[in-house]
Amino acid sequence: MRSLLERRERLLAERRGETVVPWIGPTFRFGLGATDEVGYELARLGVTRALVVTDSNVAATGLTEVVRASAAAAGVETVVWAGAQTEPTDESIRAAIEVIGDVGVDGFVGLGGGSAIDTCKLINLLLTYPADLETYLAKPHGQGVPVPGPLAPMIGVPTTAGTGSECTPMAIVDVAATHTKAAVSHYSMRPAVAIIDPLNALSCPPRVTASSGYDAVVQALESLTSLALGGRPPATSPAARPVYVGHNPISSLWCEEAVRQAGRHLVTAVVDGDDVAARTGMALAALCSRLGNAGVHLPHANAYAVVGAARDYWPAGFTIDRHLVPHGESVVVTAPAAFDFTYAAAPERHLRAAELLGVPEEKRRDAPELALGDWLRDMLVATDGPRSLEQFGIVRDDVPTLVDRAMTQERILVCSPREVTREGLTQVLEASFAPESSTAPAEVA
């Protein structure tokens, strides 16, 4: 016994990087018609009165009535609040708390895209543990105070296939004062159950489908190419270990399937929204990308900077009341250049991702460093997606400001397989503009 303990102590003393993967998976129901089982899950969780948080667009589809009928059949009362904002801000969350007030519920249902589900998470947090939102936002955008304890039971019911927020322990908001995004990240934030019904996305417009799909495939690619688990120092305690631990064999099982499904179905789901097989494939891609998310890196860090610099952009195909850059569009626009940049740090994993996407062998052989980025460029052409920062009204003179804001995303930049410097970020952002001779016109109101 002493020999075993001595060997164990020696091996742990010799380790230089993190060796523990904390995989805490969500409970979920997946499949056509799964929304009808919301009531069963609410009752199982002991909920007697639930607040359904959604937005006006989703409410207009009638899906709120499906949820309410299911809840009523299970003996659960529901109250609907359809005021969630696309790409929520810290200001919209504070306003929501004021409007909702003491609603007297013991459970929540987030129904909609990632924006509605993130809004629901934050309402749950702030009603359960009242404080200003800034208290819980991760540093440097907030105080980074941990969530004090368990939240009320929440069910996430997505109507898009992208963010996977219904499975994640975090919520993202735009911070008005700094023109960037910030997160509340804590395992208590994860919904108790995710109900993933591909039929809910049938009314999703092509541009919304595309933007959501961009997020699903890029976050899976970021996870597959992120800094390996052992590249970080061991956590000082289980509580101090971050949600994103880096590339590892467990996360790859999920993210490889996410990439495979997105490679097969993303374009079809955008072009033919009535294709149930494509909708199902993208719902599975979104789910798997989140189940295996070991860490996003450059595309997401850049995206959080892009949203603050493109204040005059009005996205086509979205029913909204203000200028904004949809999250998936902001993520994907610099992703091709970002993966070109990170290729040298993990070439085998970049090529594996390209293979899963269906990139031909000769392309992977003849131009391996471009195989992944070029697939994304071709996909953006096929789905009429953003191919230049200029399409958001951003100009090259904005690059230093974009770099400043992206560099504040410390929690995700540490996941990059290649060290991120200001020079490296500048290189990626400069490469995300159209060539001088073929600058695309900005799509602004």
Between the two ends of the chain, the Cα-to-Cα distance in Å is 73
Residues 6+ apart with CB under 8 A from 382: 267, 270, 271
Q: Rounded to the nearest 5°, which phi and psi values hold at 275?
A: -75, 105
Residue 20 forms part of a structural domain? no
Look at residue 444 in the predicted model and tell me its pLDDT: 31
Residue 2 forms part of a structural domain? no
Q: Work out the number of other CB atoms within 10 angstroms of the CB of residue 23.
A: 12
- The verdict on 181 and 211 lying in the same domain is no
Q: Which CATH number does the domain housing residue 355 bear?
A: 1.20.1090.10
Which of 134, 168, 196 is the last residue before a domain boundary? 196
- The verdict on 218 and 293 lying in the same domain is yes
- The verdict on 339 and 231 lying in the same domain is yes
Question: Which residue in 187, 259, 170 sits closest to 219, CA to CA?
Answer: 259
Residue 339 forms part of a structural domain? yes
Cα torsion angle, 151, 152, 155, 158, sign: negative
Look at residue 274 in the predicted model and tell me its pLDDT: 97
Cα torsion angle, 271, 275, 277, 282, sign: positive
Look at residue 438 in the predicted model and tell me its pLDDT: 38
Distance, CA of 49 to CA of 227 (rounded, Å): 43
- The verdict on 97 and 241 lying in the same domain is no
Residue 18 forms part of a structural domain? no
- The verdict on 185 and 218 lying in the same domain is no
Residues in the chain, pLDDT under 50: 437-445
- The verdict on 295 and 357 lying in the same domain is yes
Residue 12 forms part of a structural domain? no
- The verdict on 329 and 361 lying in the same domain is yes
Residue 333 forms part of a structural domain? yes
- The verdict on 143 and 245 lying in the same domain is no
- The verdict on 156 and 46 lying in the same domain is yes
- What total number of domains does the chain contain? 2
Look at residue 442 in the predicted model and tell me its pLDDT: 35
With contact defined as beta carbons under 8 Å apart, do 166 and 109 qualify? no
- The verdict on 346 and 433 lying in the same domain is yes
Which of 196, 217, 249 is the last residue before a domain boundary? 196
Look at residue 241 in the predicted model and tell me its pLDDT: 87
Domain that holds residue 40: 34-196
- The verdict on 165 and 301 lying in the same domain is no
Q: Rounded to the nearest 5°, which phi and psi values hold at 109?
A: -130, 120
Which of 164, 196, 228 is the last residue before a domain boundary? 196
